[in-house]
Amino acid sequence: MSTFLGMPATAPRGVGHLRGDEPFPAAAHTALANDQLRRNLRHATTTIRGKSGRVIAELPDWQELRSAGSAIKADVMSRLPELLEELEARVTERGGVVHWAADANQANAIVTELVRRTGSERVIKVKSMATQEIALNEALEAAGIQPVETDLAELIVQLGNDQPSHILVPAIHRNRSEIREIFLTAMPGVDPGLTDDPPVLAAAARKYLRETFLSTKVAISGANFGIAETGTLAVVESEGNGRMCLTLPDTLITVMGIEKVVPAWRDLEVFLQLLPRASTGERMNPYTTMWTGVTPGDGPQDFHLVLLDNGRSAVLADPAGRSALHCIRCSACLNVCPVYERTGGHAYGSVYPGPIGAVLSPQLTGIEDNASLPFASSLCGACFDACPVRIDIPSILVHLRNRAPHPKSERAAMRAAAYTMDRPKLYARAQRAAKLARIAGRRGRGLPLGWNRARDLPEIPAQTFRDWWASR
C-alpha cells in the first residue's frame, strides 16, 4: 500500500467520532441544563487539578521539561515521513508487520481483516483514542466481532451505550450510583446485591474482565509513543488492564496515529515525566508497558502496527495549526477549561473534547464540518499554561476562527466597522450619533453579529474619550 503522508486529505464523513450531530452552542445549551452532569464535572476536574498542581510543584525544572517536550514534538513534525519509515523498518526487523491507513475506512478494514484471519469472534481492547476516533468498535461489531473494553471507565461507557466525555476519564460524567445501575443492567453475571461502593464496583469489573482476559486470543491497543530508532511501542496506564492485553493474547494489533512517533528512546525521559503529572497527578505511571516487535516464546507472537493518518496530514500542512499534533493526550487543558467544566465533553461532538478538541477536530475534518468548535472558548489562556508540551491553543483558536465560514451579515457588519474605525473623523461622528444606541438595541443585541447572542456590549458612555480630552 502506498504511503499518503504529505497528500493532505481530511477525515472522511460518515465514519468515526469526529463530527457532532449539532453545533456546539446548541449541544452546550442542553448540557448546561443537566445539574447532575455539572456537579460530576466540577468535582472531578477540581480533584484532578489539585493533584496535578501538587506534583508539578515538586519539580523545579517543570518549565524546562515543557520546553523540551515542545522542541521534540516540533522536530518530529519537521521530519515526520523519515521517522515513520524508520519506525516501520525497525518494527519489521523485529518480526512485526506495519500497515499504513490513509483514513478511518482503511484502518477499520485492515483491523477487521486481521481479526478475521485469527478466527476469533471477540477481542479485548486497551483504552485508545485513535480507535474511538475511527469508530473501530462499530466496524468490528458490524463484522460479527465482539470488542470488549478493559479500561474501567471505557467499560462503563461501553456497557452504558454511551460516548466518552473526557480524554483521560471517559466516564467523568457518571457518578457511582449511575455506574451501579449500568453494571446491574448490562454486566453479565453481576451480583444483584451490588452496591455503589467504589471498591465493590471495581471488584465486579475485575471479576468480569479477568475471565475475559484469560479466554480471548486477540487484543487491540493504541500507543502513547512509537520510538523510531528501536521500533518500540509504549502504552502507559493506571489499572494494569493494558499490561494484561499486551502480554496475554496470541495476536496484538496496535492502531497508532502517525504523530505519536518520537525519534529516540531517550525522548521518553522527558515525556514520562510530563505525562503522568499533567494527566493523573501522579509522579509516574503505575504501568508502563513497552514491546518491540515479536519476542519468541514471550507475549503475542503475531504483532501488527497500523499507522493512521485520517486527516493528520491536513493538519501538518497548516503551519499555524500543526502544533495541535504535539498533543500527548494528557487532558490537562480540559481540567482547567471553564467552558469544558460547565458543558462536558459530549457537547463538542467529537471524541476529542475540550480546548485541544476545539483545535484538533476542525483541522482533522475540515473547518466547515466543525465550524463552531473554535468559538467554544473564552480565550482565557489557561489551556496554554497547563499544556505540558506548550501548545498555544488560544492562538490556534483565533487562527481557526478566521478560517471558519461566517454569515454574510456578520461579514458586512465587520467590514463596515473596520471602514469606520479606520477613519478618525467618521469614527468620531459615529460616536456622537445619539441614534447609535437605538440602532444597536439594548446592549448590542440588535447588531447582526454572532457573538452578541451570548455577550453584551458595554454601555455606551455619556461622554467619549475624545469629548473628555477636548473639554480639557
| Domain definitions of the chain by residue range | 40-310, 314-403, 422-471
User: Is the separation of the CB atoms in 44 and 175 below 8 Å?
Assistant: no
Sheet holding 251-257, edge to edge: 97-101, 302-308, 251-257, 218-221, 122-125, 146-149
In CATH, the number for domain 40-310 is 3.40.50.10420
Q: What is the pLDDT along the chain (472 residues), one digit of tens a residue?
A: 444 455 678 999 999 999 999 999 999 999 999 998 899 899 989 999 999 999 999 999 999 999 999 999 999 999 999 999 999 999 999 999 999 999 999 999 999 999 999 999 999 999 899 999 999 999 999 999 999 999 999 999 999 998 888 888 888 888 899 999 999 999 988 999 999 999 999 999 999 999 899 999 999 999 999 999 999 999 999 999 999 999 999 999 999 999 999 999 999 999 999 999 999 999 999 999 999 999 999 999 999 999 999 999 999 999 999 999 999 999 999 999 999 999 999 999 999 999 999 999 999 999 999 999 999 999 999 999 999 999 999 999 999 999 998 888 878 888 988 999 999 888 888 877 745 555 555 555 555 555 666 667 667 777 778 888 989 9
Fold of 314-403: Fumarate Reductase Iron-sulfur Protein; Chain B, domain 2 (1.10.1060)
Matching fold, domains 40-310 and 314-403: no
CA distance 263 to 90: 12
Compute, in degrees rounded to 10, the torsion defined by CA atoms 312, 316, 322, 323: 80
Query: Which letter, b or e, does each residue of 216-232 get, where b requires 16 or more Cβ atoms within 10 Å of its Cβ?
Result: bbbbbbbbbbbbbebbb
Q: What's the grid cell of residue 156?
A: 462503563
Q: Using the 8-state DSSP alphabet, how is residue 295 labeled?
A: B
Which 3 state secondary structure label does DSSP give 44?
helix
